């Protein structure tokens, strides 16, 4: 029932992986599994993009044969918590800086993942450039301490994202490629004093590439930092000459507000859709929403299918249940 379905972030390579139970798309087996999902979506007339994801410094060394994590620069998300490959709660490691050869491989890994996505039938791809993951780390000065062509100036910090998009346009046309950013987000230990200037440049450059859309995490659902001026959806829309998707903890009324104001062209819903598979119908008919899913279901792989099976709203059953509550003696 969604206009466009976006997968959860999918690791593009073994080195880009690092969360227990997270999906990926870099092996034949994974490709076959995703094709079943995409075929089911297409059978119902839907469209689906895959989100290309490299976890950067939010990976854990226990997932890698080298027992180390390489990211933009040597750094540590020291206030964050994660789980190792055995499911044990732990902190994040101090990473080492990627070599130029490894960056080249990251670009190639994204291209190969896009090829697998196309073979699996995905209608397009979205780069996960938000949340303090690898792309975000390269963009922001708080995490990018490089002194080569990928660090320093905003042009250099944007270089990786530009190269990733250029590589994937050899697989999908630009109008089937999207980017997600979080200019205001604190998730992943992010936030830089010059973010307003950084993302102004980044958005203007992305505007030249003919992308399908640009998505933004407003930052208010997961919190925002106070190091610089807030980057609003309105400002993003004035800079990006294409479709803008607003995301992160929107209610129906908030979504309708930004759409009617022309501030955004689309609004993305994630967590509400998991427990309300008929979310558009519930919005349209003023039906009640199901109780939100506990946060644990989003990271705990042992929960399995328990967190993904929720019924559509049945108005007749709701009326019957209401009548039973009103007259429990004579239902």
What amino acid positions are annotated as catalytic residues?
133
In this structure, the strands spanning 244-247 and 266-267 are parallel
Q: What are phi and psi of 165, to 5 degrees?
A: -65, -45
Whole-number Å distance between alpha carbons of 60 and 76: 11
Is the backbone of residue 246 left (phi > 0), alpha (psi -120 to 50) or beta? beta
Whole-number Å distance between alpha carbons of 3 and 140: 32
Q: Check if the beta carbon of residue 251 is closer than 8 Å to that of residue 217.
A: no
Is the backbone of residue 97 left (phi > 0), alpha (psi -120 to 50) or beta? beta
CA 231 to chain centre: 18
What are the angstrom distances between the C-alpha of 83 and each of 60, 67, 129, 232?
A: 8, 15, 22, 33
Whole-number Å distance between alpha carbons of 30 and 39: 14
What are the angstrom distances between the C-alpha of 176 and each of 24, 30, 140?
A: 20, 22, 26
Q: Check if the beta carbon of residue 245 is closer than 8 Å to that of residue 210.
A: no
């Amino acid at each position: 029932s969604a206009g466009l379905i976006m997968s959860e972030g999918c690791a593009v390579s073994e080195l880009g992986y690092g969360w227990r139970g997270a999906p990926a798309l870099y092996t034949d087996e994974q490709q076959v599994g995703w094709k079943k999902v995409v075929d089911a979506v297409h059978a119902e007339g839907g469209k689906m993009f895959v989100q290309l994801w490299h976890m950067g410094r939010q990976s854990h060394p226990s997932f890698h044969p080298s027992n180390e994590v390489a990211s933009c620069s040597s750094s540590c998300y020291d206030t964050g918590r994660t789980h190792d490959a055995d499911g044990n709660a732990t902190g994040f490691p101090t990473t080492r800086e990627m070599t130029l050869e490894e960056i080249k491989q990251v670009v190639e890994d994204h291209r190969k993942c896009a090829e697998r996505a196309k073979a699996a039938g995905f209608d397009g791809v979205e780069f996960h450039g938000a949340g303090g993951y690898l792309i975000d780390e390269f963009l922001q000065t708080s995490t990018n301490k490089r002194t080569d062509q990928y660090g320093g100036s905003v042009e250099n910090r944007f270089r990786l994202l530009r190269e990733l998009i250029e590589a994937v346009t050899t697989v999908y046309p630009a109008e089937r490629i999207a980017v997600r950013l979080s200019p205001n987000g604190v998730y992943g230990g992010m936030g830089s004093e010059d973010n307003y200037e950084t993302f102004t440049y980044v958005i203007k450059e992305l505007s030249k590439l003919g992308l399908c859309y640009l998505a933004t995490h407003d930052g208010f659902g997961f919190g925002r930092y106070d190091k610089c001026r807030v980057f609003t959806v309105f400002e993003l829309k004035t800079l990006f000459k294409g479709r803008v998707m607003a995301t992160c903890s929107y209610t129906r009324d908030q979504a309708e507000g930004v759409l009617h104001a022309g501030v955004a062209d689309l609004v993305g819903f994630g967590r509400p859709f998991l427990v309300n598979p008929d979310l558009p119908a519930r919005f349209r008919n003023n039906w009640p929403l199901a109780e939100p899913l506990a946060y644990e279901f989003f990271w705990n792989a042992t929960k399995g299918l328990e967190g993904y099976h929720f019924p559509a709203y049945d108005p007749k059953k709701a009326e019957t249940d209401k009548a039973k509550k009103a007259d429990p003696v004579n239902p």
